[in-house]
């Protein structure tokens, strides 16, 4: 059992890039979003196993998208994982907004600046990636193919 867990963890780390603070925050925010979503559903008498199951599938797919962004970094030669980090920050902000909505549904009042800050963070992560894209600059793999 332990060798399989170690193999899975190692493979996950290779695919997603180095485990760092951004990914740690993503994991924490995703867990808090799931917990507050279940809590809100329970409090508002909307809880169902299908809804919980779909939430877990959504979270797993978010990590698959982050893995895909990490692979884009590798093929683009981005050793600082800019695409992966911007993708992770986008989902951090998205799930943080969801947390705010979940606790709001439970009657907990939060300052408006908090939601605004996460909306700005989400937009900033999107704009950062768009600013990095330059249609005139081919990626490393395109340069290699043109030489053939």
Note the pLDDT tens digit of each residue in 86-124: 999 999 999 998 999 999 999 998 888 988 888 888 888
- Give domain status of residue 9, yes or no: no
Which of 51-65, 103-117, 132-146 is least confident? 132-146
- Give domain status of residue 32, yes or no: yes
Residue-wise pLDDT for 63-84, tens only, equals 999 999 999 999 999 889 999 9
**CB-CB contact of 124 with 88 (8 Å):** no
Number of domains into which the chain is organized:
1
- Give domain status of residue 93, yes or no: yes
Task: Kindly state the percentage of the chain with pLDDT values over 90.
Answer: 44
- Give domain status of residue 107, yes or no: yes
- Give domain status of residue 51, yes or no: yes
Nearest to 39 by CA among 116, 115, 126, 106: 106
Q: Report whether pLDDT(46) > 80.
A: yes
**CB-CB contact of 71 with 84 (8 Å):** no
- Domain range holding 82? 17-133
């Amino acid at each position: 059992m332990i060798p399989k867990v170690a193999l899975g963890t190692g493979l996950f780390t290779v695919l997603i890039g180095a485990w760092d603070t951004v990914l740690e925050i993503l994991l924490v925010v995703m867990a808090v979003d799931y917990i507050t979503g279940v809590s809100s559903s329970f409090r508002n008498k909307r809880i169902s196993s299908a809804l919980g199951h779909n939430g877990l599938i959504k979270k797993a797919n978010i990590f698959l998208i982050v893995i895909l962004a990490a692979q884009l970094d590798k093929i683009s030669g981005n050793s600082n994982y800019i695409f992966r980090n911007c993708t992770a920050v986008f989902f951090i902000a998205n799930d943080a907004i969801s947390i705010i909505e979940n606790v709001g549904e439970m009657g907990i009042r939060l300052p408006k600046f908090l939601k605004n800050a996460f909306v700005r963070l989400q937009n900033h992560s999107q704009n950062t990636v768009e600013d990095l894209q330059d249609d005139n600059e081919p990626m490393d793999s395109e340069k290699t193919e043109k030489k053939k």
